[in-house]
Structure 1
Amino acid sequence: MDAVSKSQRAYQWIKERIAAQEFTPGYRLVLGTIAGELDMSVVPVREAIRQLEAEGLVTFERNVGAHVSMVDDSQYRYSMQALSVLEGTATALASRAITESDIRDARAINEQMVQRLSDFEPRAFTALNQRFHEILYARCANPRLLELVQAEWARLGHLRDSTFTFVPGRAQESVREHEEILRLIERGAPLGDIEQAARRHRVATLDAYMIHEHPDETLRLPAF
């Protein structure tokens, strides 16, 4: 296994544990320990740490070392703003390539989300929500855009275990908006309409969170 693939393996290993909350904010990342766990030298682990630092998931301090970045509310807001633009565009660009099978799968997931409303568990609901959106943007032909969308989803997983923990009432509106997006895709609506609906959907979740947590700082992005 070459150094590049080793560094990517270390990167994925650390990132998965951050997303799963196994490595929580402030957790110290000891390069030697991680290298031992993965049976590799510290060189690819150091490269992985640099990559995670560039994504904002890890903070490195001289003479202290690396640790999982602390949660910053403003970073959550920035990620949601970025994701509203990136995912809205990716969803629109993917819409012409989405198959009937994709639509059925997405609708089935959304139905599972509806069923969970009566016995609400935020983490499970969020996992289904992510799967739903992955289906809608996965066929986007722009690999760079997909990479950016996935990076922001990963960052959100670190910043907030589940937004729906803070605003459970948003869940019911969310599944309704999912169906609206599916209908737009099904009928071959203009790409601008699909992009706008997907963007509004993401912004509405951010607005709900801001109203709940920071009513004096509520930021409404224009859905254009």
Structure 2
Amino acid sequence: MTEDLTLNMDAYLPLRDVVFNTLREAILKGELKPGERLMELQLAAKLGVSRTPIREAIRMLEQEGLAVTIPRKGAEVAKMTEKDMEDVLQIREALDELAAKIACEQISEEQLEELVATMHEFEESTKTDNVKKIAEADVKFHDIIYQSTGNPKLVNMLNNLREQMYRYRVEYLKDENNYPTLMKEHKDIVEGLVRKNKMQVTETMHQHVKNQAVAVKAMIQEQE
């Protein structure tokens, strides 16, 4: 287990969320490796907390697909597999295209202005070398589209999926060679929404997800 694991304290969050954010970041950065055991006692001692918030944080990591519990062995960092990625992205593609179609009809002028501002925010974030910040800007961009549908059930499904997507999103954003393509796709999505062109938006959204799948699949194969 990495020696650099320290608790990222936040006075406004419950302890379990602080532990969750700490472990999540360590996994996404590769400080906790795929297949590495997540032993409650060891983690509790290392982070200076009791076992309860560790146990709760591990459950939250399992919901995101970042950890798995193996019978008679315990919890460990989940390995990234092509099958898991393809399953998640297949659902995301269908829901994203549905959200884009509805957004073409429902999105307001205020939401379009916010989307354009967030598109520029994403572009600026790519200059920071801060993958977490870049990922947050990308999530924010898509969230505006989801919220503009006015369909809370669809938004809830996409929010649940976002947690499972986050690991693959971060892997994709670690490679700065992907940024020009991403920025072009964001621009095309905004343009399509402004024109209320469902075909343009859904085709771009399809390509957007496909490019991510191809890139992350190659990364997974390299790690095997």
Common fold: TM-score over 0.5: yes
Q: State the Cα distance separating 1:147 from its structure 2 match.
A: 2.9
Distance 1:19 1:198, change over 3 A: farther
Q: Tell me: CA distance 1:137–1:112, structure 2 relative to 1, closer, same or farther (3 Å).
A: same
1:152 Cα deviation after fit: 2.8
Other-structure match for 1:127:
136
Q: 1:81 to 1:19 in 2, by over 3 A?
A: farther
Deviation, structure 1 residue 169: 2.0
TM-score under structure 1 normalisation? 0.67
Alignment partner for residue 164 of structure 1, among 173, 176, 181? 173
- Residue 20 (str. 1) matches residue 25 (str. 2): yes
Alpha-carbon distance in structure 1 between the residues aligned to 2:97 and 2:162: 13
- Which residues of structure 1 form unaligned runs of 5+? 1-8, 216-224
How far apart are the structure 1 equivalents of 2:219 and 2:208? 17
Mapped to 1, the partners of 2:181 and 2:138 lie a distance apart of 13
The residue aligned with 1:103 is 112
Q: Which of 52, 59, 68 does residue 59 from structure 1 map onto? A: 68
Q: For 1:122-147, what per-residue CA distance to the aligned partner results, in whole angstroms no more than 9, with x for missing partners?
A: 60322211111111112334434323
After superposition, the Cα gap between the structure-2 partners of 1:54 and 1:107, relative to the gap in structure 1 and judged at 3 Å, is closer
Q: Does 1:30 align with 2:40?
A: yes
Note if 1:197 corresponds to 2:204: yes
Q: State the partner residue of 1:138.
A: 147
* 5+ long unaligned stretches in structure 2: 1-13
Within the candidate set 91, 102, 110, 1:93 is matched to 102
Q: TM-score if structure 2 supplies the norm length? A: 0.67
Aligned to 2:183: 175
Distance 1:60 1:91 in 2: 36
Q: Deviations over 1:153-187 (max 9, x none)?
A: 22232356331223x22211211111111121112
Q: CA distance change for structure 1 residues 188 and 101 in 2, over 3 Å: closer, same or farther?
A: same
Please point out which of 90, 93, 102 is paired with 1:81: 90
SS in 1 for 2:76: strand
Preserved contact between residue 91 and residue 195 of structure 1 (Cα < 8 Å): yes
Is 139-148 or 102-111 further displaced after alignment? 139-148
Q: Deviations over 1:19-42 (max 9, x none)?
A: 433684435163995xx958xx96
Identify the match of residue 187 of structure 1 among 187, 195, 211. 195
Percent identity reads 19
Is the contact made by 2:103 and 2:149 (CA closer than 8 Å) also made in structure 1? yes
Q: Deviations over 1:98-152 (max 9, x none)?
A: 22222222212222333455x3626032221111111111233443432332233
